[in-house]
Structure 1
Amino acid sequence: MMKKLARVLSPLLIACLVLGSLPVAAAPASPTEGGLVSTQDALSADQVQADRERIDDVLSRQDVQDQLLAQGVDPADVRDRVDALSDQEVHDMADRLDDMPAGASVVGALFAVFVILLVTDILGLTDVFPFTR
């Protein structure tokens, strides 16, 4: 009885071990799946995070929020739109903050936010300004 069972199970076990040891063709792993991350990707991710924090710092200032409200824009909507920006748009916006002279950062930041919201409103992605319809 044992020899008969061994004769049946042995080929099955051998086949399972052979098939289990074959390499599996799979798509390359993304960084979120534990794959390798290049130094450039890691540095750019850090830079984007720093840019988002700088923009958030400017938007959290009371004088900026007062100006947004004076122009009829809800600061929460602005934060949502900034969160939805691509990494390149965030980098461009942060560069504009760097290029502004001291003392003009509030006006320049508001202008940059206004232009971004205006463009997204014209493209139909947002519904912030009623005069774009």
Structure 2
Amino acid sequence: MKRLTRLLSPLLILALVVGSLPAMAAAPAAGQDLVGTTSVLDAQTSQQDRDKIRRVLAREDVQQQLLLQGVSPSEVENRVAALSDAEASQMADRLDQMPAGASVVGALFAVFIILLVTDILGLTDVYPFTR
């Protein structure tokens, strides 16, 4: 019996070592940590920011303006993909803060029209050509 145990013990040890090698290879390395909730939420937020930027850039009027400026849509897509997470978040925040359809030129034009109408009605004396 002792003789049989001496023969089987190294064989069993060898079988266990060889059998556990695939399990050890599939196990994660010691340096890898679990994925935290904040990192998942940050990745999701980053993807939402990039999607918002892509939606704005996919509008037809924006595409026309980009083409007038000499920028191709594929170049724009590459640049959006190259943005860091912080840059994408900052750009998406700026898109949210911009007033819809308003610009400095539009505001100046509106002031010009208002002053012109009031000058024609005689309420102001701003433009000499209205007399």
User: Does 2:74 correspond to 1:76?
Assistant: yes
Structure 1 gaps of 5+ residues are: 31-35, 106-133
Which of residues 85, 88, 103 in structure 1 aligns to 2:86?
88
Counterparts of 1:93 and 1:101, CA distance in 2: 14
1:54 corresponds to: 52
- Bigger CA drift: 93-102 or 9-18? 9-18
CA offset at residue 46 of structure 1? 1.4
2:6 corresponds to: 7
Structure 2 gaps of 5+ residues are: 104-131
Counterparts of 1:83 and 1:51, CA distance in 2: 11
CA offset at residue 27 of structure 1? 3.0
Q: Tell me the secondary structure at the aligned position of residue 27 of structure 1.
A: coil
Counterparts of 2:97 and 2:49, CA distance in 1: 14
CA offset at residue 101 of structure 1? 1.4
Tell me which amino acid in the other structure corresponds to 1:28: G
CA offset at residue 15 of structure 1? 5.6
Deviations 1:70-110 (A, max 9, x none): 011111101111011111111111111112112148xxxxx
TM-score of the pair, normalised by structure 1 = 0.59
Paired residue total: 97
TM-score of the pair, normalised by structure 2 = 0.59
Q: Which has the larger radius of gyration?
A: 2
Counterparts of 2:91 and 2:66, CA distance in 1: 17
| Structure 1 residues 12 and 52: CA distance shift in structure 2, 3 A | same
2:99 corresponds to: 101
Counterparts of 1:89 and 1:77, CA distance in 2: 17
CA-atom RMSD, angstroms?
3.3
Tell me which amino acid in the other structure corresponds to 1:14: I
| Structure 1 residues 7 and 90: CA distance shift in structure 2, 3 A | same
